Structure 1
């Protein structure tokens, strides 16, 4: 029996949209309120909303299966090609695509394309042989292997089995377990077509005989050690981080439930700008994301970005990304970045927006210069970055 396609309603991030009363069952509205209040602002049909449903995405994009029969798809304002470019930088997904091969028309296609790449790369690594490492093991054996536990042997001389400590080479290690868990999560997303789903299943089954299925958080993919024998795992774990960070968890229990796929655009914008600047800022400067700052003994925080002079070690700029497009800088944002600059004794504070403000900021706050600058997402990302750098560091670029 063919599975019935779910009802889908579409939103665009940060844009309110009205729906007829009979479009959304009240039980679905309750589930949105209960489970996705932070992601979606929802007003039930009242006189205020002309007796219609009113929904607004709060800066997230992706797919939410509210029930198996009812899904919400949230489209980004950013062109899909640029969203793909942001993901490449933010997650360090360095893949040399042939011209025209990364063209995608929707976020679901981006997800599917990356899932296909990951599955094929895992299958390729399985054909070569999975990376193996030595893990410590303790086991009672009838023969000596490695180092024996002398104390136990003396205390229990009648025990014919000796407690041995040894190292065993195995492929059932974190490097490979992360791959298996990610493929399992992708398989539950429901976002891939049959062709890609088949490849994902094939890659998962190729790992199953060698790897224990263990759950991992996206942080497990960061700051791992790579060397000659597992260097190709770096791109695999970068892709895994993308899927683990943006897929699930489901609010429903059970293996058959589909998982939501959601990208927080403010967080992605921050990561993208940081990685783009790290890759393209001229020599002589060091870009440091997530810089910790302590305001007093009871309150610490993180600055999105700082730029430091390598020679003098002086912090020249503090930068804060704001994924929004107001007419003017919010006073709270201005006070916040001034506090950051004061805490690290910096004279230049920059607020970064994806669009020009109608009333841009360029003021002196005591001895701190506070400016708003644009790193656009509407056109070519590299050119937008160069324009931003020219505004930020006008005397350092060729």
Structure 2
């Protein structure tokens, strides 16, 4: 900010060898032999919450591993400059909301909006840290499914649309129900074109149970394409026809550039159409 760091008067109480502000008379009477007496005063300081939010956010950004070689030195310089003046302590993203701004600190409003964005998008990682934390489990299979669905939703051609976690009933009694991870529909006709079953594992080859499950999904939807999606390519990939259904294994990798991995996956997925028979 062109105005520099915003400072404010913060109430302080400290034992001092001289009188500053208001003397704690009651304490002085109780301990007449003390050299230092408690004084209540207001200190003009930059160590306030407005600035503490900034320095905490800079710390999180600097340690995120997401900064480029060009931007990281700038982030570190800003963090070091504030660290010498402001207490570093953690803040939740919600602290950035509904804050009071006035003519002296109104330039902090967009800064705190940025802080909220970065704090909301940051979280625990699998790296070793310096703070204790309760253990927790992440449903990676479900997370992988949601990621693939979100990426496809953003990148599918206009000729296709995606439905996530579609429930279907099979059998004469319609009592058997399954939730299909992803179903692709032709936008014009509304017909099911392909079912996709995401598998967060790295098998040597697709398991028979997974193959038959995907084929069952395709039969239930009346389509002739089924795909098993893995984060790593199986050593023995699948490309077979069972009855009238072609089932394949495809890869949406997570260990490199996600956009490139997604583009390769989508290109392979769309080539399935070339083998479709009516």
Q: TM-score range by the shorter chain?
A: 0.5 to 0.7
Higher RCO (Cα < 8 Å, 6 or more apart): 1
SS in 1 for 2:226: strand
Change (3 A) 1:294 1:386: same
Gaps of 5+ in 2: 1-60, 67-88, 102-112, 125-131, 274-278
2:98 maps to what in 1? 126
Residues in 2 aligned to 1:389 and 1:334: alpha-carbon distance in whole angstroms: 20
1:320 maps to what in 2? 197
1:383 maps to what in 2? 260
Alpha-carbon offset, residue 373 of structure 1? 0.5
Spell out the pairing of 1:1-398 with structure 2 (5 A cutoff). 102-103=64-65, 119-120=92-93, 122-127=94-99, 259-296=134-171, 297-394=174-271
> CA RMSD, aligned part only?
3.3
Residues in 2 aligned to 1:295 and 1:306: alpha-carbon distance in whole angstroms: 16
Change (3 A) 1:321 1:395: closer
Change (3 A) 1:118 1:263: farther
SS in 1 for 2:200: coil
Residues in 1 aligned to 2:222 and 2:207: alpha-carbon distance in whole angstroms: 23
- Alignment size in residue pairs: 167
Residues in 1 aligned to 2:165 and 2:225: alpha-carbon distance in whole angstroms: 17
Residues in 1 aligned to 2:188 and 2:133: alpha-carbon distance in whole angstroms: 52
Alpha-carbon offset, residue 100 of structure 1? 7.5
SS in 2 for 1:393: helix
Residues in 1 aligned to 2:100 and 2:92: alpha-carbon distance in whole angstroms: 14
SS in 2 for 1:268: helix
1:86 maps to what in 2? none
Gaps of 5+ in 1: 1-98, 105-115, 130-231, 244-256
CA contact (8 A) 2:168 2:180 kept: yes
Alpha-carbon offset, residue 266 of structure 1? 1.5
Residues in 1 aligned to 2:190 and 2:99: alpha-carbon distance in whole angstroms: 48
SS in 1 for 2:165: strand
Residues in 2 aligned to 1:386 and 1:126: alpha-carbon distance in whole angstroms: 41
TM-score, with length taken from structure 1: 0.38
Alpha-carbon offset, residue 307 of structure 1? 0.8
In terms of Rg, which structure is larger? 2
Alpha-carbon offset, residue 354 of structure 1? 1.0
Alpha-carbon offset, residue 269 of structure 1? 0.9
Alpha-carbon offset, residue 294 of structure 1? 0.8
Alpha-carbon offset, residue 358 of structure 1? 1.5
- Kindly provide the CA deviation profile for residues 147-205 of structure 1, in whole angstroms up to 9, marking residues without a partner as x: xxxxxxxxxxxxxxxxxxxxxxxxxxxxxxxxxxxxxxxxxxxxxxxxxxxxxxxxxxx
Alpha-carbon offset, residue 128 of structure 1? 6.1
TM-score, with length taken from structure 2: 0.53
Residues in 1 aligned to 2:197 and 2:90: alpha-carbon distance in whole angstroms: 33
